[in-house]
């Protein structure tokens, strides 16, 4: 799948977001190593603290379907500037996906490509617990 196809899947997932409070809709599309695309969107609730980001929704869906190896993730938001994953999402993506390619995009164009290690240079992971 091309990067633009992955971005398209994230854009479609964004349409399903439930963001009645912030109105900030985000979509994500995670590519497993076998080429399967798993999507996610953000889901808010009134407490905000229990809100789930699109990236974590995609990763948890992928894991619950048995996927364990991933190539990249596309994240789409309606912003002019790149919208990278929050800290919690970076942690989950790192622990379960490793040094993924992270493709950022708006509704109109790609806004950046990064390795997760560049977005999270000193990760906390299982190596520290040994």
47 Cβ contact partners less than 8 Å away, ≥ 6 residues apart = none
CA separation for the pair 75, 85 (Å, rounded) = 8
Task: Give the three-class secondary structure for 117.
Answer: helix
Please name which of 87, 39, 42, 41 lies closest in space to residue 67, comparing C-alpha atoms: 39
| Catalytic (active-site) positions | 55
| Contact by Cβ (8 Å): 58, 73 | yes
Of 102, 27, 106, 114, nearest to 70 by C-alpha is: 102
């Amino acid at each position: 799948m091309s990067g633009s196809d992955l971005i398209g899947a994230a854009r479609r997932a964004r349409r399903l977001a439930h963001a009645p409070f912030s109105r900030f809709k985000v979509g994500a599309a995670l590519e497993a190593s076998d080429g399967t695309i798993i999507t996610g969107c953000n889901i808010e609730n009134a407490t905000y603290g229990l809100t789930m980001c699109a990236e974590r929704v995609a990763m948890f869906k992928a894991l619950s379907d048995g996927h364990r190896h991933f190539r990249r993730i596309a994240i789409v938001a309606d912003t002019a500037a790149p919208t990278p994953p929050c800290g919690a999402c970076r942690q989950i993506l790192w622990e379960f996906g490793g040094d993924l390619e992270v493709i950022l995009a708006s509704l109109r164009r790609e806004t950046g490509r990064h390795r997760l290690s560049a977005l999270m240079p000193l990760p906390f992971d299982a190596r520290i617990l040994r």
